[in-house]
Amino acid sequence: MATTYETRKDVPKEEKWDLTDLYESEDDWQKDLDDALTIANELQEYDGNINDGSSLLAYLKKQETLKYKLQHVFAYAMFLSDIDTRDSHAQQLQAKASQAAVKVNEATAFFMPYLLSLEEDTLKKYLQEETELDYFKDHLWKSFRYKPYVLSKEKEELLSQLGETLSAPADTYNMLNNADIQFGNVTDEDGSKVQMTRGMYAKRIEDEDRDVRKEAYFAYYKPYVELNNTIATNLAAEIKTNVTLAKIRGHDSALRESLFDDNVPTDVYDNLLASAKANVQPLHDYTAWRKEELGVTELRQYDLNVPLVPDMKVDISYDEAYDTMLKALAPLGEEYIAVLREFREQRYIDVRETPGKKSGAYNMGVYGVHPFVLLNHHDDLNSQFTLVHEMGHAMHSYFSSKHQPQITANYRIFVAEVASTVNEVLLIQYLLKETTDSKMRKYLLNHFIEQFKGTFFTQVMFADFEKQAHERAEAEKPLDANSLNELYESLFRTYHGPTLVFNDEVKYGWSRIPHFYRAFYVYQYATGFVSAIHIAMRILDGDEETLKNYMNFLRSGSEDFPLELLKKTGVDLTTAEPIENAMKMFSETVEEFKKA
């Protein structure tokens, strides 16, 4: 079967979304949009008029109805646009949905400052007056945690007015990195010099020809070297803003403020960094082995991405990939597999690449309907892993929506990658068990090692950089191009080991990372990854208690804070055990790979 099609009409019906699950017609969509705007206007009338349990309940019920309708409206418009980004009508619907979201935010902006202005006894009184408020009670108290860190009404309004100004460093970097960056030139197939693009770089940095990799590497870093002072000044402004806002609100550090929402103690963050550094030797061994495998005199940064096992050109049809997934995930139980079969049969997945379709892959759960998964599936091994990954997210969305009320159905980002990575670990262990091809086995081991390196070690290195950069700002130490370059280069040496011979460009690596404009976010990739390994390997060992607890985790949405939800599966991130277990697995995989 073809993997790309000239038009969407050519794609088999069973491999396309059925968006009538959301709305039978655009008229139905428009009705929900109109209703949402009407409710938003009604909610605005509550500003200054919530003074007892009854009015608080009325406001919260209307707000939940609004969220339900607006999510459906936004999802439908987004899905239509994503299946063909050239569709101007779909873009118009998406613009309408976005405009409605802005109006809703404006209409409800008063509520959080109002809630946090209440005395604790007053909120308790309202909760006693209306028993129906029990449904919202946990949500209200979780919001109330912010009370010690809320400023006076006048100061909050002032900060709100400064919102656009405070986000300027992130906006500036986004424009610079996506619109203005001009990469250097590389040689094309005809021997002509052409300007490199990000897409070209992603392919060329993995090319078997070292000269191609080297040329791409220097062309890619050229603008970051040239703009080093500008980007450093911009990131320093972002970091200092984070530090200043945390101090204004009464937090003892920017890190503590960032972790507050998930109720994660800073010890978890510090423990992650310390445990990774204490167990970094297997990564150093792998880097040294890479040098041997490539047969180079000096291992350089442009040698770190080329596959050590040439790409396995294996044809795997979508149906075959799906059936393999069902077998690989069988340890998760009959209910899980039955639901997974239903996803394919009920057209919850938009499978094929077509002209204009949004690139990449994602899952979006729509409460009251079902998850929608977008793929750009090619009949190969990478697509098989992407399928398994996204279906992990989708199953998490499905079970949480089925077992949770709307208010707690969405899971937090902290735990989002657990379900997807559990699936990936189960798939790779299944494929390693089933394959009889020695080259394929080596390829799979290398795939897992590289995934581990990228999702764990690289993200921990980024997290380390963020923490130390913010600590420098908090100590009022210089935060300029030289200090950021030195910090990043030092960390790169720490994590990659002595085998690597550094080009000067290595130290500029921090300047190409957009995640640094979303402070203390990336560490969650690493914690999610080690949590998933901990869970998956116990399930494969036949641990029925872990399986039962994991399925309960998938049903839990955000009914509790992330660390508590993970503890119920047997993963305690306040200890080093999950990280050390993952490190042991990584070390064993590296040793097996070297012998393969």
Hey, what are 220's tokens?
């890619």
> Quick check: is 390 catalytic?
yes
Give me the phi and psi of 152, to 5 degrees please: -65, 160
**Pick from 265, 302, 257, 340: nearest CA to 520:** 257
Q: What is the dihedral of CA 77, 83, 86, 92, to 10 degrees?
A: -10
Give the pairing type, strands 193-195 and 362-365. unpaired
| Rounded Cα distance, 547 and 553, in Å | 10
| Rounded Cα distance, 378 and 391, in Å | 16
26-51 b/e with 16+ CB inside 10 Å = b? eeebeebbeebbebbeebeebeeebe
Instruction: For Cα atoms 433, 350, 528, give the angle at the middle one, nearest 5 degrees.
Output: 50
Contact 539, 546 (CB under 8 A): yes
| Rounded Cα distance, 387 and 480, in Å | 42
Residue of 215, 390, 417, 474 marked catalytic: 390
| Rounded Cα distance, 372 and 364, in Å | 5
Q: What are the distances in angstroms from CA 421 to CA 206, 415, 528?
A: 24, 11, 8
Hey, what are 289's tokens?
């082995």
CA atoms within 13 A on the CB side of 119: 3
Place of tokens 């970051």: 224
| Rounded Cα distance, 349 and 229, in Å | 45
488-504 b/e with 16+ CB inside 10 Å = b? bbebbeebbbebbeeee
In Å, how far from its chain's centre is CA 143? 24
Active site residues: 390
